[in-house]
Amino acid sequence: MISFFLKRFFGGLVVVFLVITATFFMLRLLPGGPFDKEKKLPEEIKLNIEKKYHLDKPLIQQYILYLSGILRGDFGPSYKFLNRTATDIIGDVFPVSLRLGVISFVLSIFLGVIIGFVAGLRRSRIFESIFSLGISLPSFVFASVLIVVFSLHFNFLPPALLEGWNYYVLPIVCLSFGPTIYIAKLTKTSVERTLKEQFVMFAKSKGVYGFRFFKHIVSASLSSVFSVAGMIFTFLITGSFIIETIFAIPGMGRYFVLSVIDRDYPVVMALTVIFTVVLVVMNIISEILYAMFDPRARER
Q: What is the DSSP string of 176-239?
A: HHHHHHHHHHHHHHHHHHHTTSHHHHHHHHTT--HHHHHHHHHHHHHHHHHHHHHHHHHHHHH-
pLDDT-based confidence at 216, cuts 50/70/90?
Answer: low
pLDDT of 280-294, one tens digit each? 988 888 877 776 766
E strand or H helix that includes residue 83: none
What pLDDT sits at residue 63? 94
Buried b (16+ CB within 10 A) or exposed e, 204-238: eeeeeeeeeeeebbbebbbbbbbbbbbebbbbbbb
The residue ranges of every structural domain in the chain are 86-299
What SS3 class is residue 85? strand
Does pLDDT of 271 surpass 70? yes
Q: What single string gives the DSSP state of each residue in 57-70?
A: S-HHHHHHHHHHHH
Q: Are 186 and 225 in contact (CB under 8 A)?
A: yes
Q: What are residue 195's phi and psi, to 5 degrees?
A: -65, -20
- Per-residue pLDDT for 206 more than 80? no
pLDDT at 264 over 80: yes
Higher-confidence position of 289 and 187: 187
Q: Which CATH superfamily is domain 86-299 in?
A: MetI-like (1.10.3720.10)
Torsion sign over Cα 157, 163, 165, 168 = positive
13-44 confidence digits (pLDDT tens): 999 999 999 999 998 888 777 776 655 667 77
pLDDT tens digits, 188-199: 888 888 777 766
